[in-house]
Amino acid sequence: MNNARSSASPQLDTIARSGVLRVGLFPSFFYSRSAAGEFSGWGIEMARDLAARLGAELQLVECDSPPAVVEALSSGGCDLAFMGISPARAGEVEFTPPWAKGEFTFLVPAGSTARSMADLDVPGLRIGVVRNHAMDGALAGKLLQAERGYADTPDAAFSLFVEGQVDVLAGIRPGLVRYCAKAPGSRVLPDAYGANVIGLAVRKGDAEWLATVSRFVADTKSSGNARAAAERVGADGLEILT
């Protein structure tokens, strides 16, 4: 990258000077990290592509939750983040046009007779849900007879499911498909109770930076790179939007 570059974008200037692109992450299906500390996943593939386009080194900034990522964006702790687009978040950060979509649905355990969401609206049934996640907001007003069992991260919610502390697990389809492979006999239900529409989020007030990452999103869709990356990493259930 040409570190002498000057533009109308404070964020692009920062990246040019540092030679680093900082991407904010929170626990989600976007990525995983091995015991050896190696990162992988659709979000990682896309982040590497953008860093290469900018001629920058990729730095991953892990946060505990979506609100923590929003705070990192607002305070300058990261340059962009993968995030579900919502009206509430749009008041705090700016989004590219929609990039991808994953349906919200449920993972049921081996032996479950449930075939659809309607079968889960049972008094006393406990649904594992991630706190402060769009999956919880999308459940509002639905399955009112069932109870909620909250966890702070998707992996923690999956642990509740495996340990039998919740009866079913709510989540985004690509993530639940991954968990299904780790829970013999479990199934992901075919219907959905909503969807998480995903874009890149950036700090407010930098139109050129937003335009730059928006062009990147558009290019990955038109070139097929976003879909190819999803297939490479096995992100089943992730729909790349046109």
Same domain, 150 and 75: no
Nearest to 24 by CA among 55, 62, 51: 62
For residue 106, tell me if it sits in a domain: yes
Model pLDDT, residue 5: 53
Whether the CB-CB separation of 90 and 217 falls below 8 Å is answered with: no
Residue 46 within any structural domain of the chain: yes
- Are 117 and 177 within one domain? yes
Q: C-alpha angle 89/37/42, rounded to 5°? A: 45
Dihedral (Cα; 170, 173, 174, 176), 10-degree rounding? 40
Q: What is the pLDDT, as a whole number, of residue 93?
A: 97
Residue ranges of the chain whose pLDDT lies below 70: 1-6
Crossing angle for the helix pair 42-54 and 225-233, nearest 10 degrees? Answer: 140
What is the predicted pLDDT for the residue at 219? 98
Residue 213 in any domain: the answer is yes
2: in domain: no
pLDDT tens digit sequence for 187-234: 999 999 999 999 999 999 999 999 999 999 999 999 999 999 999 999
Q: Are 57 and 17 in contact (CB under 8 A)?
A: no
16 and 75, same structural domain? yes
Of the candidates 64, 65, 59, 80, the one whose C-alpha atom is nearest the C-alpha of residue 9 is 80
**Domain co-membership, 75 together with 15:** yes
Q: What gap in Å lies between CA 194 and CA 139, rounded to an integer?
A: 8
Q: Are 170 and 106 in contact (CB under 8 A)?
A: yes
Domains of the chain: total: 2
pLDDT of res. 3: 44
Structural domain boundaries enclosing 75: 10-100+195-237
Q: Is residue 61 part of a domain?
A: yes
73 and 136 part of one domain:
no
Question: 85 and 157 share a domain?
Answer: no
Residue 224 lies in a domain: yes
Whether 175 is in a domain gets the answer yes
Does 157 lie in the same domain as 93?
no
Query: 206 and 91 share a domain?
Result: yes
CB 178 within 8 A of CB 41: no
204 and 96 share one domain: yes
Residue 185's pLDDT is 97
pTM of the complete model: 0.90
- Write the CATH number for 95: 3.40.190.10
Question: Does residue 4 fall inside a structural domain?
Answer: no
Residue 47 and residue 73 share a domain = yes
Q: What is the DSSP letter of 123?
A: T
pLDDT score of 88: 85
Which residues contact residue 218 at a Cβ distance below 8 angstroms, ignoring those fewer than 6 apart? Answer: 97
